[in-house]
Chains A and B, each alone.
Chain A
Amino acid sequence: MNSKTVIITGGTKGIGAAIAEEFYKDDYHVVIGARHDNGFVSSLGPRAKFQQIDARKENDHHKLVTTANKWTGRVDVYINCAGFSAWNPIEKIDNRFLSEMLDVNLKGTFWGCKAAARFMKKGGSIINISSLAGKRGSVNNSAYCASKFGVTGLTQALAKELGNKGIRVNAVCPVYIETPGLMKALKSKVSPTKGQDIDSYFEEFILKQSALGRLPLASEVAKTCLFLASDAASVITGQSINVDCGVLPQ
């Protein structure tokens, strides 16, 4: 088979699902790893496959690569999207909270990169879904920011390390994307909404910070990933690209 193949962790909902849709539309074979099958993958079509994984486990990432190899013989793109947001003030952060955050957001991304690097050929592209929280800190966000700054460091280091194999490594940093996961996290009193109406918070945020007067859609994050996976991005590596309507111009 000569079919370009993408592996997406956390690809059954939210940003990951939007990425899966975009790559599927671009004729990729799509392997999606997540904890639960919610029916989304089969709704995409015959070029999409679901595999149950726990992104915190290194071996589950190697299993995704094996699945892709058996199916098409290729892994062209590996997208580490499994992750979550949660705000918490430092005094409330215990080992359990911090470990959960780092295990999924940071270590999950590490293992995805390792599995991809082992199998990918020249021209391969690893894309880590990071966040503006990987570029600047914010209140009650220490654990999440630590995990995403870690992803930035990982991205840069591996870009240098895997460059001689022709594998590019980049990160995408979105600002608020309205997914069910984010909406849930923003209900918290310690989140930036302070437990108040999320719509009013977004409107004020947009007014004060968004150059383009709106927030990005998940599909727009996905299109940036498609670009980074493509030949058009053949000399882009080690970068953390903001998909943020101009909220953080750096």
Chain B
Amino acid sequence: MPEYISKLFNLKGKVAVVIGGGGYLCSEMARGLSKAGISVAILDKNFENADKVSRQIKKGGGKSIAIEMDVVKKESHEQALENILKTYRRVDVLINGAGINVPTPFFDITLQEWYAILETHMTGTFLACQVFGKHMVSRKKGSIINMSSASSGPPLSKAFTYSVAKAGINNLTQNLAREWATKGVRVNALRPGFFPTAWSMKHFIDKKREAAILGHTPMGRYGKPEELVGAVLWLSSDAASFVTGAEICVDGGFTGMTI
């Protein structure tokens, strides 16, 4: 049975790039990928966080490198790709998980904040797909996972710019999936439900909001970061060979319910 699973998924020896890999959810995905035998490049604006995750992976017997990068600069993506190719010779999986969020009331959103949130999510994903996607298309194989959100549509209150960005990412995901479908590169979006960090609990989620969230989540609870790993491994693998342009919900049923 185990041999059947490993042949079906065929993940061993692959190379994954996790942009935003120093963060709460992405670091868990990175650790999950490495446990499946995948070498993981952790890219993050905060090198310390990236390095911490990379060291954890290596301590556990996995292969990993940490690279500091700025997702809004194309040269940063190009430099990162070159460094990754020098170490691992190729990229099989890309996860676009970088991006910021701020609960600013709509009339208070400055142009600077609007651009900053759109840039880190949408432009960061766009540039990564250009740079890493080009490499994958040239090899005629690859799997890209863009981070959508339960807020990508219909949007959640309090997250105006963030929701616009996630809707944009979904759209780009579908377009690139169509574009590269016959070129061996699959592009999908992961739509996590609620996996709040300590920061979210403090800045976004008060008692009233928590009741609204959990009341609208059939499973009646928040998700645990490790519950995203299965979907990530599946989308990265040959077991998802016919899956592209899809938005995969991992949200305890949130998206599927009304009342």
Contacts and interface: CB of A to CB of B under 8 A. Distances in A.
B89 A214 contact: yes
Interface residues of A, number: 8
B138 A215 contact: no
A178 B139 CA distance: 10
A180 B89 CA distance: 13
A117 to B, nearest CB: 34
A131 to B, nearest CB: 19
A202 B89 CA distance: 10
A199 interface: yes
Contact of A180 (B13, B82, B85, B138): B138
B254 to A, nearest CB: 41
A178 B90 contact: yes
A224 interface: no
B90 A217 contact: no
Contacts of A66: none
B208 interface: no
B6 interface: no
B138 A219 contact: no
A139 to B, nearest CB: 23
Interface residues of B, number: 9
Given A180-B138, A199-B13, A217 B87 contact: no
B86 interface: yes
Do most interface residues of chain B lie in helix, strand or loop, or is the interface mixed?
helix
Contacts of A217: 82, 85-86
B89 A178 contact: yes
A217 B135 CA distance: 13
Contacts of B90: 178
Interface in B82-105: 82, 85-87, 89-90
A192 B82 CA distance: 26
Contacts of B89: 178, 202, 214-215
Interface in A184-222: 199, 202, 214-215, 217, 219
A214 B138 contact: no
A219 B87 contact: no
B71 to A, nearest CB: 22
B58 to A, nearest CB: 16
A136 B85 CA distance: 27
A199 B138 CA distance: 17
A214 B86 contact: yes
A17 B90 CA distance: 18
Interface string B152-186: 00000000000000000000000000000000000
Contacts of A214: 86-87, 89
A180 B13 CA distance: 20
A219 B82 contact: yes
Nearest to B89: A178
B39 to A, nearest CB: 12
Interface string B211-233: 00000000000000000000000
Contacts of A215: 89
A166 to B, nearest CB: 34
Contacts of B85: 217
Contacts of A180: 138-139
Contacts of B13: 199
Nearest to A43: B134
A88 B90 CA distance: 28
A202 B138 CA distance: 19
Nearest to A245: B86
Nearest to A206: B89
A215 B86 CA distance: 7
Nearest to A199: B13
A202 B139 CA distance: 16
A214 B138 CA distance: 21
Nearest to B13: A199
A33 B1 CA distance: 54
Interface of B: 13, 82, 85-87, 89-90, 138-139
What are the 4 closest A-B residue pairs judged by CB atoms, nearest first? A217-B85, A214-B86, A178-B89, A217-B86
14 contacts: A178-B89, A178-B90, A180-B138, A180-B139, A199-B13, A202-B89, A214-B86, A214-B87, A214-B89, A215-B89, A217-B82, A217-B85, A217-B86, A219-B82
Given A215-B89, A217-B82, 12 more contacts: A178-B89, A178-B90, A180-B138, A180-B139, A199-B13, A202-B89, A214-B86, A214-B87, A214-B89, A217-B85, A217-B86, A219-B82
